Amino acid sequence: MLLCIPDILSPDEVAAFRATLDAADWQDGRMTTGPQSAETKRNAQIPLDSPALPDLQRHLVRALTRNPLWVSAALPAKILPPMFNSYTGGQTFGIHVDNAIRPIPGEGRQMRTDVSCTVFLSDPDDYDGGELIVEGHYGAQAVKLPAGHCVLYPATSLHQVTPVTRGARVASFFWVQSMVRDDARREMLFDLDQSIQSLSARLGLNDSEAVRLTGIYHNLIRQWAEC
């Protein structure tokens, strides 16, 4: 499932993120990638030890985990602290697949990447190119969202970022280890949850059918979740 979620960050929050990021030091993005991806990756990233990072990471994770749509879609067990990248002057990231396992910086632990997330921090009018192209069962989908919006998609997908031919495409990217590793199961749970929310809004929280479906939702989580 590829899902776009609006307004993870407000325009004021985006402006504050950008002020911090624009003043920070950047490094070559190939520092955090495997050898195959490094061949096709051309961008800049905020170094993992940058003093600018921890506040931005905390702020963004708080905004994500307060968003019911994001939580329902990702069902997060572990969230990699978000990283930040920038593409300018024709930079691009050719087609690749993300590493399945990543170390969690500073924790000495690893996590599985089930869900890939990008939070856009540039307005689409401020740059040309820079579409995120995600290959799925129904073909390729191009994603370019307003600043503050987020896309999430299965980390199993082949994907690329097309060359940025004008301006700067600044974004946050990170991965989630989901409680439900299988994308098809996550999608069914998301659809069921959204239907329950809409039924409850129409019929009331204590409507007997809505309560029964809520029970099914939680029992499926019991069957499928790994915490």
Q: Which residues bind Ni ion (CB under 5 A)?
A: 98
Give the whole-angstrom CA distance, residue 150 versus residue 61.
Answer: 12
Residue nearest to Ni ion (CB): 98
Dihedral sign of CA atoms 179, 82, 40, 103 in order = negative
Angle ∠(99,100,106) on CA atoms, nearest 5: 80
Question: Residues 116, 155: contact at Cβ < 8 Å?
Answer: yes
Comparison of 94 and 213: residue with beta carbon closer to Ni ion = 94
| Minimum CB distance to Ni ion, residue 98 (Å) | 4
| Minimum CB distance to Ni ion, residue 152 (Å) | 13
Comparison of 102 and 186: residue with beta carbon closer to Ni ion = 102
| Minimum CB distance to Ni ion, residue 159 (Å) | 6
Comparison of 17 and 93: residue with beta carbon closer to Ni ion = 93
Report phi then psi at 99, rounded to 5.
-55, 140
Comparison of 37 and 72: residue with beta carbon closer to Ni ion = 37
Report phi then psi at 19, rounded to 5.
-60, -45
Give the whole-angstrom CA distance, residue 195 versus residue 209.
Answer: 11
| Minimum CB distance to Ni ion, residue 96 (Å) | 6
Give the whole-angstrom CA distance, residue 69 versus residue 72.
Answer: 5
Dihedral angle of Cα 216, 200, 183, 140, to the nearest 10 degrees: 150
| Minimum CB distance to Ni ion, residue 125 (Å) | 25
Comparison of 16 and 97: residue with beta carbon closer to Ni ion = 97
